[in-house]
């Protein structure tokens, strides 16, 4: 078999583990050939690839990033995108393509699959918001990075009281905020799914100070917002990549809480630190299992499908199903966390 | 409600997170009283306990060990054990007991439950070998510790070739060996479920050297054994706690492989390092969810049950079901790992 | 001997190690009594203290923060501050006071020492800018935190180029920026000692992109500034504690560089994360040695002195000498780092 | 200038940082050419090398091991070793050779230097036992690894008492044992410099148990030995590389202490884990400074010299002086540590 792999979208710890696993299973066990397209779909559309043999993936298991590079270009972005892709697949004699990416990539995967290309997808979302799989790799690492930062904040012993607002990833869903907030014992968590009441947040933080505590920790998902009209809030405007430019929930909350409580309030912005570095063991194992199962699915001719974790098993689900909905944090999880606003 | 908590059996990262979660949910949300028995069942049998309020559990979320201590004494170890336990429960006016422990503790929990005591159990096994829950807390941390050690071994650049045999926990099951071996890309993994062929292991390691590689990494679960008769093997004899005394699979393999391959072979014995220290974010979240759900189950009168993770949900399963069987590594998982003998 | 200890000023990893070391040496070896004043000098001025025996310092060696708390109040802040301090020292029968703190604390220590109080100081500055000692504890931990964050940023593999500006501590000196920038291989470092040329910084970053690199990492000490007039720069205004309120060099640089280069530029703000958490082994050893030597100096009657590291030895230097000057990064160190602007 | 670099002897975190620094300073700043000999002196004796340009050292700063490989072969091991070396240096037109290695390598460096070759050495000893430099890189990382393991052991809360004996590196000197033991608060430390009294060690550990403590932690440098005749002790016999084969101080102490105290005693053997992995920020900075200064010394024609750290400065010392003596732990440091036997 001849397999083409690509990684698309934002950085996510574990991508290299998937690539390595695909190569190990395909090349070492099945005697397949594997090529890797550079910078995601762009590489497929421009026929820009490299051979992936065992040596090419030596030593990458624990490495962050992706040896294939990544971009946000997708077939539907270009006229004739699908035809160009189909053409190259034929030229290269590919029997299967394994794209590893998020919602956008899986939609593109589905489009190409509907157009007859042999696709087996591997889901990638550091926010853990793809509904049909219990967990996606990279999430555990990001939560770990945020949790370590929060742990360090909790040792402050200075007597003048302060609020620390840690901004974590999560533009549309609050999974990273929820898990890191729970893991580190934050005093308040705000998530995109539930616009928060600034008075309630202020009161929650204020209670800590009235009880004589030295600090209060707030975890804010980047996409969290106050209830409309409750607080001056700068939506940020977008830059050319669709990202918020100047506003940041942590900064705005630090200004607002400082004003309301007359206590020092400081933001901590982890940004891209959460996307990088060595993946945790959990993420490496999950990524490895996804890669292995993707190769097996390809060999079984199960195209138009995607790997997913259900309990402790890796199963295949249809790409159609995969992109239907976002996995938002359900109400039931808020109660467990005790501090989500 | 008045709730009694206890932690029994070996150390496991996450125990404190469970205790804290029980107290937070019960005391802060339900207005319950919580007491903690010292050193596991021993505390219940001897009525040795302390009050657990919010202050008592302040700052313990990220701490290894258990503020309640632990022991291996269980009710069935003593004559009148059950009656003594029943007596103290009555004296103390306890409405629920939440024992957190492994197989032995859950069996004791079942015994007491069958005798009418209001028990809601929380499973604890660092080996992740309780069948009715997808994952148990502490496992991720142990795998992480082993993986970090393995990662460090993989950077060796000395030209004289050597084998490194890392002994990890797993007396009866190979889950920690499997996951850390996969996460770190070990070259061979031996597990208790499958007595290994020393010739095969020697060949596996030898191939690395013939290919000019500088090192070979073997991960050995402590309970792994060679096929009978294939290799001189000292079962170790037991000490008064039932632990192997002198033999160790890593040491014996280092001697055997050095002899067979005429290459340096060194054991790495992580021992209790794997049981200690700050739990990972994953383990803290799982432990916290277990504690919260145990309290909720107690309030619903669901006794004789135990918390368990199924997919992404926490559910209650009967203690009877919980202790039926050990979760051994299934054949299907060996293929994914590619290097299990 | 009766010794009083206090920790003053900002949080710094290693404070607890000093306290523990003082207690171990004094109580266990000399049979002394040790008390700890709460929240720094405030505790001495208000006679607010607790007894510090071996149990009181059990388990604190690896803990961030300080069990005694800290504040920024100093004797010279209050009328009769010196007399009140002297009064309490007499009432409590103290033979020595060991204040652990930064420049402000050491100045206060000197003032009290000049007024006859028996003071032996221990220097504390996470910025490592006290001139008379080669290194101060806490610095290594802070550099480590920043370096780990920088390491994670360096694995980015996305094809659209971006600049990441990491803001680290260092209001007046660039030691943390220099060391973390060197340790992680940053592409540019800006420090307070040398106002930077924004054109030069833009060119430095631009070169990376022209060479096809995917990212550029800039490390900015919080007190770094552009050369006057070269770039719109908001000095920030101060809050009631004398801290910059809204401006941040990382945010301002991200806006400026994004505008100039037309590439995505994102700030990473580690803030208080750098001050907290478990101290590194290096910091614990240095802090322990400082505490031990402070006790020995007290027993030798060497007052008006402070512990300092010179090479591998701990020596005593006069408090007068200690507060003379700030240890700024010398020119010679810039050349070694190769990327300081 | 044309410079040849090589790394010799055992693995040590920071080697790649030195190599990278040499290349950055020499190639980028001086316009030099740099080549790297493979596997230490072996590469120089066999003229086996690779070109080292900026790309060759991209991304290696944080990596453990050495991209050049290492071996224990030295010129004096071979007949005509010196002449062969001289020959290749001439053939390759090398103006300077920068060998990075330990005592053996520095002796070889001195031999070649005495024979007219242009050598500038960089010291490497993970044990930190080269006398003329305050610190050597790799030591901080090794101490950190040992300290993290010790930290994890200190959280044990099981009620049945046990002794944990952690074996750390240090065949001839106890620096790693001293620093990690101090950093983690071990209860006893045994070092090669001082054969220990097993009765004293037993008593030290026994005191912990009599005081009701749950565990005792002993740190043993691998070269530590009991006083002759006090305890059955297997010197181990040597393997073909001169390494101890079967005996290990930790195992033997675990057997002895278990017998004497009738408490569980378990060894933890970190082995090569201490030599590998990402160097700490401290080690990367020191290694980087060493590499930079070695290049500068070469440009100044200062041959027969070696880089060394004195306080906060990097200075050059003569290779003759460098190999004179081993830096053993002095008596004064034992007192500070409070638990060295």
pLDDT tens digit string along C167-183? Answer: 999 999 999 999 999 99
Mean pLDDT of chain B: 93
| pLDDT computed for residue B77 by the predictor | 83
Cβ pair C282:D143 closer than 8 A: yes
Q: Based on the domain organization, do D114 and D158 belong to the same domain?
A: no
d(CA A231, CA A198): 7
d(CA B173, CA B192): 6
Q: Based on the domain organization, do D30 and D67 belong to the same domain?
A: yes
| pLDDT computed for residue B80 by the predictor | 87
- Interval A33-40 mean pLDDT: 97
The answer to whether the CB of B159 falls within 8 A of the CB of B313 is: no
D305-310 vs D313-318, strand pairing mode: antiparallel
D264 vs C233, residue with greater confidence: D264
| pLDDT computed for residue B73 by the predictor | 84
Confidence of residue C242 (pLDDT cuts 50, 70, 90): very low
Look up the pTM and report it: 0.95
Pick B179's closest partner by Cβ from A144, A179, A285: A285
**Residue in A with minimal Cα distance to B133:** A311
Q: Based on the domain organization, do D175 and D270 belong to the same domain?
A: yes
| pLDDT computed for residue C108 by the predictor | 94
Q: Tell me whether residue B275 is annotated as binding.
A: yes
Pick C285's closest partner by Cβ from D25, D134, D183: D183
Q: Based on the domain organization, do A132 and A167 belong to the same domain?
A: no
Cβ pair A277:C156 closer than 8 A: no
Chain C closest-CA separation from residue D233 CA (Å):
31
Q: Based on the domain organization, do D294 and D263 belong to the same domain?
A: no
pLDDT at A243 over 80: no
Which H helix or E strand runs over A49? strand A49-51
Cβ pair B272:D156 closer than 8 A: yes
pLDDT at A264 over 60: yes
| pLDDT computed for residue D181 by the predictor | 97
DSSP E strand stretches across chain B:
2-7, 33-37, 49-51, 96-101, 120-123, 162-168, 188-190, 215-221, 264-269, 305-310, 313-318
Q: Based on the domain organization, do C302 and C230 belong to the same domain?
A: no
Q: Based on the domain organization, do C81 and C132 belong to the same domain?
A: yes
Q: Is residue A318 part of a domain?
A: yes
| pLDDT computed for residue D122 by the predictor | 98
Q: Tell me whether residue C38 is annotated as binding.
A: no
pLDDT at C191 over 50: yes
Q: Based on the domain organization, do B151 and B264 belong to the same domain?
A: yes
Cβ pair C272:A258 closer than 8 A: no
Mutate to test the interface with D, among C285, C296, C330 (most CBs of D within 10 A): C285
Give the range of the structural domain holding residue D216, as residue numbers without chain letter.
142-276
| pLDDT computed for residue C236 by the predictor | 66
Q: Is residue A172 part of a domain?
A: yes
- What separation, in Å, do the N-terminal and C-terminal C-alpha atoms of chain D show? 52
Segment C295-341, tens digit of pLDDT:
999 999 999 999 999 999 999 999 999 877 889 999 989 988 878 88
Q: Tell me whether residue A274 is annotated as binding.
A: yes
Q: Is residue B194 part of a domain?
A: yes
Confidence of residue B244 (pLDDT cuts 50, 70, 90): very low
| pLDDT computed for residue B325 by the predictor | 80
B321 vs A78, residue with greater confidence: B321
| % of chain B residues with pLDDT over 90 | 83
Give the three-state DSSP class for A241.
coil
Segment A98-121, tens digit of pLDDT:
999 999 999 999 999 999 999 999
Q: Is residue C236 part of a domain?
A: yes
Nearest to A218 by CA among A184, A192, A247, A243: A184
Confidence of residue D241 (pLDDT cuts 50, 70, 90): very low
Segment D185-208, tens digit of pLDDT:
999 999 999 999 999 999 999 999
Q: Is residue A330 part of a domain?
A: no
Give the three-state DSSP class for A175.
helix
Active-site annotation of B, residues:
127
d(CA A63, CA A18): 11
**Residue in B with minimal Cα distance to D168:** B268
Give the Cα-Cα-Cα angle B171, B172, B178 (nearest 5 degrees): 85
Pick D336's closest partner by Cβ from C146, C147, C292: C292
d(CA B291, CA B22): 5
C78 vs C34, residue with greater confidence: C34
D321 vs A120, residue with greater confidence: A120
Q: Tell me whether residue C22 is annotated as binding.
A: no
**Residue in C with minimal Cα distance to A151:** C277
| pLDDT computed for residue D246 by the predictor | 58
Weakest-pLDDT range from B228-242, C66-80, C113-127, C256-270: B228-242
D23 vs A337, residue with greater confidence: D23
| pLDDT computed for residue D196 by the predictor | 96
Cβ pair A64:C258 closer than 8 A: no
Confidence of residue D336 (pLDDT cuts 50, 70, 90): confident
Q: Is residue D117 part of a domain?
A: yes
CATH number at residue A75: 3.40.50.450
Pick C65's closest partner by Cβ from A155, A245, A276: A155
| pLDDT computed for residue C238 by the predictor | 57
Cβ pair A151:B59 closer than 8 A: no
Segment A180-239, tens digit of pLDDT:
999 999 999 999 999 999 999 999 999 999 999 999 999 999 999 999 988 888 776 655
- Interval B16-35 mean pLDDT: 97
Cβ pair A11:C258 closer than 8 A: no
Among candidate residues A276, A303, A334, the one where a domain is terminated = A276
DSSP tag of D238: B
| pLDDT computed for residue B238 by the predictor | 57
Q: Is residue A112 part of a domain?
A: yes
Q: How many domains, chain D?
A: 2
- Touching C: which chains, 3+ CB pairs < 8 A? A, D
The answer to whether the CB of A37 falls within 8 A of the CB of A23 is: no
Cβ pair D281:C143 closer than 8 A: yes
pLDDT at A242 over 50: no
- Touching A: which chains, 3+ CB pairs < 8 A? B, C
B81-91 and B103-114 are packed helices; what angle lies between their axes, rounded to 10 degrees?
A: 70
Segment B35-67, tens digit of pLDDT:
999 999 999 999 999 999 999 999 999 999 999
Q: Based on the domain organization, do A114 and A21 belong to the same domain?
A: yes
pLDDT at C227 over 70: yes
Nearest to D222 by CA among D144, D165, D169: D169
Among candidate residues C256, C276, C296, the one where a domain is terminated = C276
Q: Is residue A32 part of a domain?
A: yes
ipTM of predicted complex? 0.95
**Residue in A with minimal Cα distance to C263:** A240
pLDDT at A80 over 50: yes
Q: Based on the domain organization, do A248 and A283 belong to the same domain?
A: no
| pLDDT computed for residue B160 by the predictor | 81
- Interval D85-100 mean pLDDT: 97
Q: Based on the domain organization, do D248 and D134 belong to the same domain?
A: no
- Interval D216-225 mean pLDDT: 96
Q: Based on the domain organization, do C58 and C41 belong to the same domain?
A: yes
Confidence of residue B284 (pLDDT cuts 50, 70, 90): very high
Segment A156-189, tens digit of pLDDT:
888 889 999 999 999 999 999 999 999 999 999 9
Among candidate residues D248, D276, D304, the one where a domain is terminated = D276
| pLDDT computed for residue A336 by the predictor | 87
pLDDT at B188 over 90: yes
- Residue B229 has φ and ψ, to the nearest 5°, of 80, -10
d(CA D10, CA C230): 51
One DSSP character per residue, C75-142 reads GGGSTTHHHHHHHHHHHTT-SEEEEEE-HHHHHHHHHHHHTT--BEEEE--TT--BTTSS--TTHHHH
Segment B86-121, tens digit of pLDDT:
999 999 999 999 999 999 999 999 999 999 999 999
Q: For residue A164, which residues of chain C lie inside 8 Å, CB to CB?
A: 271-272
Cβ pair D281:C140 closer than 8 A: yes
Q: For residue B7, which residues of chain D lie inside 8 Å, CB to CB?
A: 157
Q: For residue C335, which residues of chain D lie inside 8 Å, CB to CB?
A: 292
Mutate to test the interface with D, among C26, C156, C282, C309 (most CBs of D within 10 A): C282
Give the three-state DSSP class for B63.
coil
Confidence of residue D156 (pLDDT cuts 50, 70, 90): confident
CATH number at residue D231: 3.40.50.460
Nearest to C205 by CA among C264, C268, C271, C270: C264
| pLDDT computed for residue C243 by the predictor | 45
Q: How far is CA A224 from CA A42, A168, B87, in A?
A: 32, 10, 52
Confidence of residue B241 (pLDDT cuts 50, 70, 90): very low
pLDDT at D244 over 80: no
- Give the residue carrying structure tokens 């202020």: A202
Chain C closest-CA separation from residue D259 CA (Å):
29
């Amino acid at each position: 078999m001849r397999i083409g792999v690509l990684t698309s979208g934002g950085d996510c710890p574990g991508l290299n583990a998937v690539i390595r696993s695909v190569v190990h299973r395909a090349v070492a066990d099945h005697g397949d050939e594997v090529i890797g397209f550079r910078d995601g779909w762009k590489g497929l559309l421009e026929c820009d690839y490299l051979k992936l043999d065992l040596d090419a993936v030596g030593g990458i298991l624990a490495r962050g990033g992706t040896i294939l590079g990544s971009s946000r270009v997708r077939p539907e972005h270009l006229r004739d995108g699908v035809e160009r892709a189909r053409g190259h697949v034929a030229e290269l004699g590919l029997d299967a393509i394994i794209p590893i990416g998020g919602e956008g990539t899986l939609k593109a995967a589905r489009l190409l699959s509907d157009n007859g290309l042999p696709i087996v997808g591997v889901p990638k979302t550091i926010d853990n918001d793809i509904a049909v799989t219990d967990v996606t790799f990279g999430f555990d690492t990001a939560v770990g990075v945020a949790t370590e930062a929060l742990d360090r904040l909790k040792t402050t012993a200075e007597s003048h009281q302060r609020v620390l607002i840690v901004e974590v990833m999560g533009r549309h869903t609050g999974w990273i905020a929820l898990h890191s907030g729970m893991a580190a014992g934050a005093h308040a968590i705000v998530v995109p799914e539930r616009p928060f009441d600034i008075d309630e947040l202020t009161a929650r933080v204020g209670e800590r100070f009235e009880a004589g505590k030295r600090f209060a920790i707030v975890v804010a998902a980047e996409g969290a917002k106050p209830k409309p009209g409750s607080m001056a809030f700068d939506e940020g405007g977008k830059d050319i990549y669709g990202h918020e430019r100047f506003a940041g929930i942590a900064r705005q909350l630090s200004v607002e809480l400082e004003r309301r409580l007359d206590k020092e309030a400081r933001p901590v912005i982890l940004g891209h630190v959460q996307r990088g570095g060595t993946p945790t063991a959990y993420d490496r194992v999950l990524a490895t299992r996804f890669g292995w199962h993707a190769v097996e699915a390809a060999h079984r001719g199960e195209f138009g499908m995607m790997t997913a974790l259900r309990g402790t098993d890796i199963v295949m689900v249809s790409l159609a199903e995969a992109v239907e909905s976002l996995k938002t944090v359900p109400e039931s999880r808020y109660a467990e966390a005790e501090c989500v606003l």
